[in-house]
Every structure is written in structure tokens, then in C-alpha cells.
Structure 1
């Protein structure tokens, strides 16, 4: 939100930062990663080793 200008030419902004916990970040994948040697094997090993508790 911008403050009123008043007698100055500047319009300072008031920023509010909060520490909201939105949970884990979504998975992001770059297309160039698939070109890295051993990438597919690494992903398959990590995916198969993953244990998920609960439903999702």
C-alpha cells in the first residue's frame, strides 16, 4: 500500500511480511536435468526408496 505523497515527491511503500507456513514447496523439474548422465537412474532409485505414510 502506498503512503500519501504529502509535501515530498517520494511515495514510500509499506510492505508486510508474514511467516505463513504453506507446507512443502511443490516439486519443480528443469527439462535440462534429463540430459545429465545418470539422472534417470538417480530419480528411479530415490522414487523407489520413498516411503509415504498416510493417504495422498
Structure 2
């Protein structure tokens, strides 16, 4: 599994619009605030969010 960096996100999958799992974040003053972690249901239970 390769973790890729997108615009304000890290994701596993084809691209940030076609992901298996994604972590979306906001960065301000060198602080990263994780906003959402989403795993598509068909990939659940495989540890992608971890």
C-alpha cells in the first residue's frame, strides 16, 4: 500500500478523488489538524484508517 499526498490530504488509492482511504487535514502555523479519516465501505476492516 502506498500512501500519497494530495491537496490537504493523504490517501491510499488511484488519486485523491478515487481513494480507498483518505485523511483530510488543515495546516496552520506549522500545525496539522486532522479533520476527517474516511475509508470506503468495501475496504473497511483492512486497517487503512490506522
- TM-score in terms of structure 1 length: 0.20
Bigger helix fraction:
1
- TM-score in terms of structure 2 length: 0.21
Which entry has the higher C-alpha Rg, 1 or 2?
1
Q: Which has the higher contact order (CA 8 A, sep 6+)?
A: 2
Bigger strand fraction:
2
